[in-house]
Structure 1
Amino acid sequence: MLDESGYPTTLDPADMQRRLTVLERLTALGAAARSLTGSAIGNGGLRVYGGGSIRVEDGGSLYVDQGNLVLGAGSVRGTALKGQILTDFQSTTSTSFEVSTAWVRSVSITVTRPAWATRTVVSCQAAVNLPVYGAMRGYLTGSGSTLDICTTPRSSRSDSDTSASLAWGGVTTAASITAAIDTRTFFSDTTLTPRRADLQVSCTFMR
């Protein structure tokens, strides 16, 4: 080392050790600044300044689990960030519906979409057992159509205990929709006892 006049000075081992320690610390800090793999940032937060940016590469993601994404002109609530696409499944069974020669509602499910969503993709599956030969209808509000099918006897030698199944769906912008099974029979015996009607509805809500 040189003094203020430019002449060599006597090396101080303690001073050299101190300088090496400082150099090692600065080197470690520099390495950490270049890589934050697996790091955590506390309530002090992370500030990017001087025109810098945060970039997500190689298939990564930016998660906002519980907080909000705050923008210059407003904010996006955390629940909306997690709810761009939301799925729902509901099912119901009835064994007490009316048996009639006219169309009657046997079972139904009403689904209300979240306020943030703008449309709902609906998929319905249903099955029905009737005590006599008849028909079932799959119904969905907002789709503008229904789907009918006749039931078939469980035994080719008998008209009793018939069954049928349906699958249908649609896309709707309605705030709420109702999926339902309507049934009817082709015999006028009013003493018949209903068998079973099952309905399953899967929904995907989308912004």
Structure 2
Amino acid sequence: MKFSVLPGSSAPDVLKPCSACSASGQGAGEGTVYIDGKPVKIDNCQQAIAHGIAMVPEDRKKDGIVPVMAVGKNITLAALDQFSGALSSLDDAAEQQCILQSLARLKVKTSSPELAIGRLSGGNQQKAILARCLLLNPRILILDEPTRGIDIGAKYEIYKLINQLVQQGIAVIVISSELPEVLGLSDRVLVMHEGKLKANLINQNLTQEQVMEAALRSERHVEKQSV
């Protein structure tokens, strides 16, 4: 299942409790998260990961990468426990194999896994962040502006990956400021205003005009209540 939330709706703040992939280690926001109809407690990244939630943040340079760290280390940053040896030391060989597989799967273009990730293009940085999230084997993947500031080729590869993940049974939530992207990717579109759900639209030949009308209707309703 894929659904999108329009920006300017406080949606990123509502979804903060779900964040699991932020390189900055930012804490959760306020709100309640329900999975399979049951409330779950998520106060930090570790709890989000335990519940199968991963997130690609909106600002990749601030919250998504450690610029001076190697590309490979950025990818394995949230999954180091998978490479712990018998004496709790890191299994370097297993980690390197995983890095190479991730680079190949996401088609991350880099001269070396040891290159600082800050030297990559925006599209390759974004694919490396996605690779990190996928190492967590998420049930729910939240993508906040996943194609902002990247080239057409990288956009296409990310769109293709999203569709593949959905076919594998992963729930994907996309927050995007590009309506054509929202309509092209999503089964459902949620319209929110000031952090509250105002419309839940099934994407069956849904048009940009219908989505914008739902967004404007929710704003007019709030304005009328405040008068």
TM-score (norm 2): 0.19
More helix, by proportion: 2
Whichever of the two has the greater Rg, that structure is 1
Answer 1 or 2: which has greater strand percent: 1
TM-score (norm 1): 0.21
